[in-house]
Amino acid sequence: MTTAIFPGSFDPVTVGHMHLIERASHLVDRLIVAIGVNTQKTGYFTPEERLEILSESVADLPNVTVQIETGLTTDFAASVGATVIIRGLRNVTDFEYEQGIAGMNQYLNPKIETVFLLANPADAFVSSSLIKEVIQFGADITGVLPPAAAKAIEQRRNENAD
């Protein structure tokens, strides 16, 4: 049985993430979406809120679960019995960034392989960082978010408007 993890900040989760999760779920027996805390990114949602949003978003994928991970990705992977780390690539910039991380992960645990999946071309422009930027201006971004994330962002906007 092959177990993989798909780590990321998912803040917020996008349709690009969801397309990768769905595709990855067909490649392995068990996929764990691992919500990490990226020290280089400012959080829009708490890890617990992201867990709730992602859990709702993957509810129809029976072999996919969601967990919060802290610490090294390779340590988390080993703790859940994963032998594969799934990463998505939108462009060459992503590749250069991910190549370095994959190399370090290979050094830290040679038993864990990193597998890169190319983003759907229609999703190549979508990033959580860009979404966080444009929502500040009230833009309609529902087309690039799964329904649970769109709903959570709308609720956050309404809270901030009060």
**Which positions are annotated as active-site residues?**
17, 41, 90, 128
CA atoms within 13 A on the CB side of 114: 20
Distance separating alpha carbons of residues 74 and 80, to the nearest angstrom: 10
157 annotated as a binding-site residue: no
Q: List the Cα angle 142/147/151 in 5-degree steps.
A: 80
- Strand-pair partners of 104: none
132 annotated as a binding-site residue: no
Distance separating alpha carbons of residues 103 and 74, to the nearest angstrom: 12
Q: Coil, strand, or helix at residue 108?
A: helix
- Strand-pair partners of 67: 34
Cβ neighbourhood burial of 39 (10 Å; 0-12, 13-18, 19+)? exposed
123 annotated as a binding-site residue: yes
30 annotated as a binding-site residue: no
87 annotated as a binding-site residue: yes
Longest dimension (CA), the chain: 51
88 annotated as a binding-site residue: yes
9 annotated as a binding-site residue: yes
20 annotated as a binding-site residue: no
128 annotated as a binding-site residue: yes
73 annotated as a binding-site residue: yes
Q: Which residues carry a binding-site annotation? A: 9-10, 17, 41, 73, 87-90, 98, 123-129
Q: Which residues carry a binding-site annotation for substrate? A: 9, 41, 73, 87
Q: Which residues carry a binding-site annotation for ATP? A: 9-10, 17, 88-90, 98, 123-129
